[in-house]
Structure 1
Amino acid sequence: MKLFRKLREQFIVKLAYINYFKYAIGEIVLVVIGILIALQINNWNEIRKQEIVIQNYYVKISNEIDSLLKLLENNTGYTEYMTKELKYCIDYMESKRIDSNAVYLEKLKLTTDCASQTFFYPVINEFLSQGYLTKVNDKKISKYFENLSYYQQQINVNDEDRTNYCVMQLQPFIQKNINYSDIMLDSGVNPHFDLPDVSTKNGPKTDFQKMQNSIELWNLIYRKIEIERDALVINKSLISTLKKIKKQIEILKIKDDKE
């Protein structure tokens, strides 16, 4: 009987250990599952917050693109006008006329327009720098933003070409051959400021006969046309890219709203 009692006690103790071990394993599993569920819920919340931020960026980017398109289209129109007017100067020189044609001089002034057309994208740059584009699972919009970055670089190159043209080529030629008052872009009194009027044209006269036969001036005008034609290609490509981004943003907004 003592033997049977001892065996029974050992069995009960052993059974208790097994049950306790099972209970402990079960409790650990429940804790792990609870932690995973909590992490998943937190992850869902973070994703949702991120989606709301991205949606807000979509609205601001769309508005920024509208402003940029207006500016780009105005610049493009002016550049097309400038290119056409400079072609008149080429035709005038080709005619071998030697009179100081007032229309020719007005159009020749455009060679001195060296203003850069660098554009700024504060909202878009912030969106990209914060890494939100990597959170958008859309290959099209990623490609469009890549193109946008490329055309921005091309604008910078075009601006640099324009600046170098003015500083290194045009200004030295004007100083040697042209009375600058003949081709000043804006020589009159500024209506908003009390500035002196420097519109009087005195001093040495421009030798128009010499200019008509100047291959240097001919090349300068053609170089200016070349720079502006490059700007037209870049601007029109940029306009197309911005419109694609705006359209794709609208598609993504509708898609996110449905989800």
Structure 2
Amino acid sequence: MIKLFRNIRRKLLTEGNSLRYLKYAIGEIILVVIGILIALQINTWNENRTNKIKETAILRDLHQEFQKNKVKLDSTINYHRSILRATKKVMDLIGEPEATVLKHNPDSLIYLTLDYRDYSPSESVISDLISSGKLNLISSDSLRMLIFEWGSAMEEEEEGYATMDEMSQTMTLPYIAKNGSMKNTDHYGILKENSLSKFGPRNHLLFQEVEFENHMDNQAWGVANYLLKLDKLEIIINDIIKHTNRKTMIQE
């Protein structure tokens, strides 16, 4: 093809027809430009196709990761709701006669108010997206916004857990250790193989103290506050799962 164009130019120059040569030269330039534009269009199409394949893989990985995170989060929420119920039950028993308190196993109830746990989801896919700069491969503005909201919500969750843990470690546990029996309490946890305290039952006596009621109220507040953070995460997780669902992707 190049040889053909060269021969045509040589023939026109030999004939000395400048006007025809100029028209031909302009036409040749136009053909070259068109060829370049077509090549660029093909490259753009290939790049978009490659990016779409990468995006599909990212959405699939996000969907799988957050489905697992949802299972773990639902378990964590239900667990802490049970802690909150136990704490409220303790508060309802405070001030009741000793015989009434003993019917409800106060050692076990107190243990339940203290046995909270942190939520630690998998974030490997999101971390890779942010660190590698692949976040811009996600075409959905809503999904990108949800990913940023997830990061902020996780920071709030960590603050909520830290607040709950600090209140328990610096206030409630020291109070029980001084005025009750930690051994009897821990008997209903991972130290259940240990025998009860030889000093006899003591924790039921705490139910007659207003200071114990204040500590339990703090525990209830800390757990309730933490649950609010977990509920916010649940909303974001459900939205991320919805946006990365294969059927939703096809509809969009």
Say whether 1:188 aligns with 2:189: no
* Superposed CA RMSD: 2.9
Residue deviations 1:109-137, cap 9 Å, x none?
12332432232321233234444443334
Q: Which of these two proteins has the greater Rg computed from alpha carbons?
A: 1
Asked whether the equivalents of residues 90 and 218 of structure 1 are also in contact (C-alpha less than 8 Å), the reply is: yes
Give the aligned partner of residue 253 of structure 1.
Answer: 249
Q: In the alignment, which residue of structure 2 is the partner of 1:95?
A: 96
Tell me the SS of whatever aligns to 2:195. coil
Q: Which residue of 2 aligns with 1:157?
A: 159
Q: Where in structure 1 do 4 or more consecutive aligned residues deviate above 6 Å?
A: none
Correspondence 1:7-46 to 2 at 5 A = 16-46=17-47
Q: SS in structure 2 opposite 1:202?
A: coil
Give the secondary structure class of the aligned counterpart of 2:120: coil
Shift of 1:81: 1.1
The one of 218, 221, 224 equivalent to 1:226 is 221
Q: Does residue 78 of structure 1 match 2:88?
A: no
| 1:96 Cα offset (Å) | 5.2
Structure-2 residue corresponding to 1:3: none
TM-score (norm 1): 0.77
Unaligned runs of 5+ in 2: 1-12
CA distance in 1, matches of 2:70, 2:137: 26
CA distance in 2 between partners of 1:217 and 1:200 (Å): 21
Q: Which residue pairs with 1:206 in the alignment?
A: 202
Counterpart contact for 2:86–2:113, Cα < 8 Å: no
Aligned residues of 2:54 and 2:137 also touching (Cα < 8 A) = no
| Corresponding pairs, count | 236
TM-score (norm 2): 0.79
Which of 137, 140, 147 lines up with 2:142 in the alignment? 140
Q: Give the Cα–Cα distance (whole angstroms) in 1 for the partners of residues 156 and 58 of structure 2.
A: 25
Deviates more, 1:139-148 or 1:177-186: 139-148
Task: Kindly state the Cα deviation for residue 84 of structure 1 after the two structures are TM-superposed.
Answer: 0.7
Partner of 1:112: 114
Could you tell me which runs of 5 or more consecutive residues in structure 1 were left unpaired when the two chains were aligned.
1-11, 190-197
What amino acid does structure 2 have at the position aligned with 1:248? H
1:170·1:220 contact (CA, 8 Å) conserved in 2? yes
Letter aligned with residue 77 of structure 1: N
CA 1:65 to 1:207, structure 2 compared with 1: closer, same or farther past 3 Å?
A: closer
